[in-house]
Chain A
Amino acid sequence: MPPSLGTLELSILLAVTRLGNDAYGLAVRRDVSDRTRHDYSVGAVYTTLERLEIKGFVSSRVAASLPRRGGRARRHFKVTAAGRRALSESQRHATSIWGGLTIFNPEPT
């Protein structure tokens, strides 16, 4: 059974994994927007991160506050063991459903 991860959830979970200790909202948003070439709003990214946290796929901690953020703290995210399992399942599922298709070139329209 594949994990219940949407496209944005998967992209954000991968970004949090990739960024490691630097995974906070803005960095995640930049990473996801660069890779998907879609300008996601800050709100969309945080809503998704919150959803992932409720699902238990990421955990968060609040760092020290910074003047350049108006005295607010960064909230750093980390992938949990459940999150890593979900990613692994998702990759296995994607590999499975793409199986047998060695070349995929869509016809130009």
Chain B
Amino acid sequence: MIAPPRTAELILASLGAESQFRDAMLGDLAEEFGDRAERDGVCAARRWYYREATRSTPHLLRSWTQHVERKELARIGGVLVTSYMIAVMTFVFMLMAGIAIAVRLGMLLPTAPIWPNPSAFLLAGLTLYGAAFWTFVGYVVAWLDERTPLISALALVVVLACLALVSSGVGHNLGPVSVRFAASIVGALSPMAGAIIRIRFWQPTPNIEPRTVDAKLSSS
């Protein structure tokens, strides 16, 4: 039997939908994928799966928002803050280690002021550095959040996108608005890349207890 695309399946599973809803939906997608792979070929079935996964994502997110509780939001907030602190500490350590190695090797550090007119090279470097940093934060977020890794990463993206919108209007010394905006968007989307790298090694766990609606109906 041909299995559906694993990454797409894990992305759908990590969106925090109620476990019964999630498993029934993923099961249906897998069953239809198998039928289509036999009938139309694996490539066509994969295309269908990706398209269907994209179309179903808003519904899974809506299922999560309908069942989410305040303590769950607090937990995600805690995950974001913890991840940020872990990433900052890691990157500060790496920066200090890099400087120490450079000094040890006798490399010259720039003495001329790099502000207020940074070169395009420096801007590109900063963007790459930012993207690497936020990708790492996204990875840590997904690693810390075993229940809903992509929801936490999405929350981080929303926070970063808001900051990007604000910051693209300021910092005129950092180049044209379009460049600053593009750099901000790259930074904002990086956590998703990190989270997707992480969830490839992730095993979905039931996130919410089975609902009581069935029992209520069956007893009536």
A positions within 8 Å CB-CB of B: 24-26, 29, 41-44, 46-47, 50, 53-54, 56, 59-62, 66-70, 72-75, 80
**Contact check: which of B4, B9, B26, B214 meets A59 at CB < 8 Å?**
B214
Q: Which of B23, B26, B57 has the most CB of A within 10 A?
A: B23
A41 to B50, CA, bound (A): 12
Q: Given A47-B63, A75-B24, are A69 and B30 also a contact pair (CB < 8 Å)?
A: yes
Number of cross-chain contacts by CB at 8 Å: 87
B positions within 8 Å CB-CB of A: 1, 3-4, 9, 20-21, 23-32, 34, 52, 55-60, 62-63, 213-214, 217-218, 220
Q: A68-B31, A69-B31 are in contact. List 8 more A-B contacts (CB 8 A).
A: A42-B52, A43-B25, A44-B55, A46-B24, A53-B217, A60-B214, A69-B27, A69-B28
A26 to B26, CA, bound (A): 11
A53 to B212, CA, bound (A): 11
A residues in contact with B3, CB < 8 Å: 70
Nearest CB in chain A: distance from B39 CB, A: 13
Q: Which of A54, A70, A75 has the most CB of B within 10 A?
A: A70
Q: Which of A24, A25, A43, A69 has the most CB of B within 10 A?
A: A43
Contact A41 B52, beta carbon cutoff 8 Å: yes
Nearest CB in chain B: distance from A27 CB, A: 9
Contact B4 A70, beta carbon cutoff 8 Å: yes
Q: Given A26-B32, A68-B31, A70-B30, are A43 and B24 also a contact pair (CB < 8 Å)?
A: no
A residues in contact with B24, CB < 8 Å: 24-25, 46, 62, 72-75
Contact A47 B59, beta carbon cutoff 8 Å: yes
Closest residue of B by beta carbon distance from A80: B217
Contact B23 A41, beta carbon cutoff 8 Å: no
B residues in contact with A66, CB < 8 Å: 27, 31
A44 to B29, CA, bound (A): 13
Contact B1 A67, beta carbon cutoff 8 Å: yes
B residues in contact with A59, CB < 8 Å: 214, 217-218
Closest residue of B by beta carbon distance from A51: B66
Q: Given A46-B24, A70-B3, are A53 and B63 also a contact pair (CB < 8 Å)?
A: no
Contact B217 A26, beta carbon cutoff 8 Å: no
A residues in contact with B30, CB < 8 Å: 68-70, 72
A residues in contact with B32, CB < 8 Å: 26, 42
A47 to B28, CA, bound (A): 14
B residues in contact with A44, CB < 8 Å: 55-56, 59
**Contact check: which of A43, A54, A72 meets B27 at CB < 8 Å?**
A72
Q: Given A47-B63, A50-B21, are A61 and B214 also a contact pair (CB < 8 Å)?
A: yes
Q: Given A41-B55, A68-B1, are A47 and B62 also a contact pair (CB < 8 Å)?
A: yes
Contact B25 A25, beta carbon cutoff 8 Å: yes
Q: Given A43-B57, A43-B58, A59-B214, are A73 and B28 also a contact pair (CB < 8 Å)?
A: no
